[in-house]
Chain A
Amino acid sequence: DTEVTQTPKHLVMGMTNKKSLKCEQHMGHRAMYWYKQKAKKPPELMFVYSYEKLSINESVPSRFSPECPNSSLLNLHLHALQPEDSALYLCASSQLDLGVSYEQYFGPGTRLTVT
């Protein structure tokens, strides 16, 4: 099973709201990722967790706050977002062996609209 699940599928939030995106995988992968994708563009990396520790932050604004409660779960907490943050947010996971990550499997994404 190579499934990564994400909830919710769609989210509409105001600029003063606080919401969270959730991601789950049961493939035993120890690397998990958050990406942001705008229309007709490739995914842009936001964060990487390796062995439940944040290993890469691509200079993402602090209004995005990632959390990895355990090896199967990844959250992205959202607060005070801007309309330009509207996008498809993708979670991915990959096997990690001796620090080397392998092919990434993506979830279906959460389509976020900020009003």
Chain B
Amino acid sequence: QKEVEQDPGPLSVPEGAIVSLNCTYSNSAFQYFMWYRQYSRKGPELLMYTYSSGNKEDGRFTAQVDKSSKYISLFIRDSQPSDSATYLCAMKGNTGKLIFGQGTTLQVKP
């Protein structure tokens, strides 16, 4: 079993839809949780960063962490075609090593 599980999709939604992306994990030592967006042939761009459990909102993006369930989510409101990309969840404990999910490919259709 992988330390971080993420459905690779692809996920296809119409423009304006609410998108829900999720990851589960097995290591209870993880405390720092990140979501990255990666466009084709580009480097990952940090979207959201949360420490421990709770919610964090930034514009159209909301990140949720539920440590008791070992489950994290990223919600995208009013999705746009420009949101079409691969979304990677990543997490770590106190060591330097970031553990990534496999990435979910999202397509937002106009």
Contact = CB atoms under 8 A, between A and B. Distances in A.
Interface of A: 2, 4, 6, 31, 33, 40-43, 45, 48, 50, 55-56, 88, 90, 94, 99-109, 111
A56 B96 contact: yes
Q: Is the interface of B mostly helix, strand, loop or mixed?
A: loop
B34 interface: yes
A45 B97 contact: yes
Given A103-B32, A104-B98, A42 B43 contact: no
Given A105-B46, A106-B46, A108-B42, A50 B36 contact: no
Contacts of A90: 43-44
A43 B44 CA distance: 9
Interface residues of B, number: 23
Given A45-B97, A56-B96, A88 B41 contact: yes
A23 to B, nearest CB: 11
A50 B96 contact: yes
Interface in B5-47: 8, 32, 34, 36, 41-46
A62 B8 CA distance: 32
A94 B100 CA distance: 16
A31 B98 CA distance: 13
A64 to B, nearest CB: 18
Contact of B46 (A43, A101, A103, A111): A103
A103 B96 CA distance: 10
